[in-house]
Chains A and B, each alone.
Chain A
Amino acid sequence: MKATAIAIVACVGVLSSTSLVAADAKKDAKSQVEFGISVAQRGLWREAIYRWEKATEIDPTYAAAYNDLAIGYEHEGQLDKARKAYEKALELDPNNSQVRQNYELFKEINDRTAQKEK
């Protein structure tokens, strides 16, 4: 009886600490994304890309980070990477109209480039 109680308490402890770590990771990823936005607004796109890449490493389920990263790649002319990042963002958040709009605008440019490579 006592052992069971200890086991339950231990499980609860592990679960709560795991969720705390996950929450911390999400918070950390969000702060990286926000910092990336603030530097992109000042024209420091390479730094922004670094921050957004970091955010996606910390939280691989963070759709907004992939969206921002795609925009950064697009601005740097890395169209292949941009496409992959947009597709990942849409995979994580398929109903996000803003990501979809960004992706549609990107595709217009990407299609034009693809045509020339034929």
Chain B
Amino acid sequence: MIGPLRKKNSAASGMRRLALACAAATLAAFAAACGTDYFEIPIETPIQPKLDVSPFQRVLVYGFVAGGTDDVDANQETVRLLRSQLRTKSSLRVIDADVVPLIDVARDQSQGGSNEDSAGPREGGAPPRASSGNGGSDRGAQGVTLPATIKDEKDLEPYERLFANTAYWKRIGEEFQNPLIVTGTVLFMSRSTSGFVQRDQETFDNLGRRRVMPMRTYMERKGFVLRPKFVFIDGRTGATMYSESYREEILYNAQQNTPALSSYFELMDRLVPNFLSALSSQKIRGTRVLLK
């Protein structure tokens, strides 16, 4: 009983396949007869670097003033990520130094710290210092009260004075034989929001036809916001050459539990090409439509 039924089914499916093949061939012949008037083509647009880094052979990713959530050490993670990206995607040699807790450096400067010892990290593995020396003219942010914790952009603002302290950065530059210095601020904050969101919803009608309809649904979402500012400093002069700020956000369904660190990397992934394009020429891949 089963045997013949199977045979019948396979014969029917063979017929269906043949019909489909015929239809596809007819369509192809029709398309060829009509001729296509457009062609999608992949392109790679070369983008020149934003900075002239030819005077530098080496780059020092020094450290970042970081704030926001405590779930991720944004200073450590940003330094590690940028160094690894620069090692593979730039011609500059990356200096392997300890990551400096820049927030402590800024606080020390604001308090007029008189530690005459060198501020910077040691190449090759000495432990990072909790506070950095800023004798004399290094006291760029002296007298400014800095918030104890950085929770938002407002808290971060007073720390920005640190990057204008050319004497400090010149000294760091001298210590590392005048590299290009990369520093800045990183704010990685958790965020929750609720409201109407447009989502595509799949529906099937009585005849089993599939339809995708945009639907507005109320959702509670949570996620993270990443706001980095990259500051590029000339290690020979201590002056800021260029800086750029970004903002990226990711939101998930409130029930979804995504670790902060993976969100951080997902957001940084979006920004890294922009960061790299400051130092080295990049090719941006895309597709365009050629027309006849």
Contacts and interface: CB of A to CB of B under 8 A. Distances in A.
A33 interface: yes
A71 B41 contact: yes
Nearest 10 CB-CB pairings of A with B: A64-B291, A116-B50, A77-B46, A75-B43, A98-B289, A71-B288, A102-B288, A68-B290, A37-B290, A67-B291
Interface stretch (A1-9, A11-19, A105-113): A105-113
B290 A71 contact: yes
A71 B292 CA distance: 13
A74 B45 contact: yes
Contacts, number: 58
Nearest to A113: B47
Given A37-B290, A63-B291, A109-B47, 6 more contacts: A67-B291, A68-B290, A71-B288, A99-B291, A109-B284, A116-B278
Interface in B37-52: 38-39, 41, 43-48, 50
Interface string B260-292: 000000000000001001100000101011111
Interface SS majority for chain B? strand
A57 B39 CA distance: 22
A84 to B, nearest CB: 16
Nearest to B273: A112
A99 B289 CA distance: 8
Contacts of B39: 37, 41
- The size bracket of the interface on B is 20 to 34
A95 interface: no
Contact of B47 (A30, A77, A102): A77
Interface string A21-54: 0000000001001100100110000000000000
A101 B290 CA distance: 11
Contacts of A40: 41, 290
Interface residues of A, number: 27
A37 B43 contact: no
B291 A112 contact: no
A70 to B, nearest CB: 8
B38 A98 contact: yes
Interface string A85-101: 00000000000101101
Interface in B172-194: none
Contacts of A34: 292
A79 B45 CA distance: 9
Contacts of A37: 39, 290, 292
A104 to B, nearest CB: 11
B44 A75 contact: yes
A24 B57 CA distance: 58
B274 A112 contact: yes
A64 B47 contact: no
Given A98-B38, A116-B50, A74 B43 contact: yes
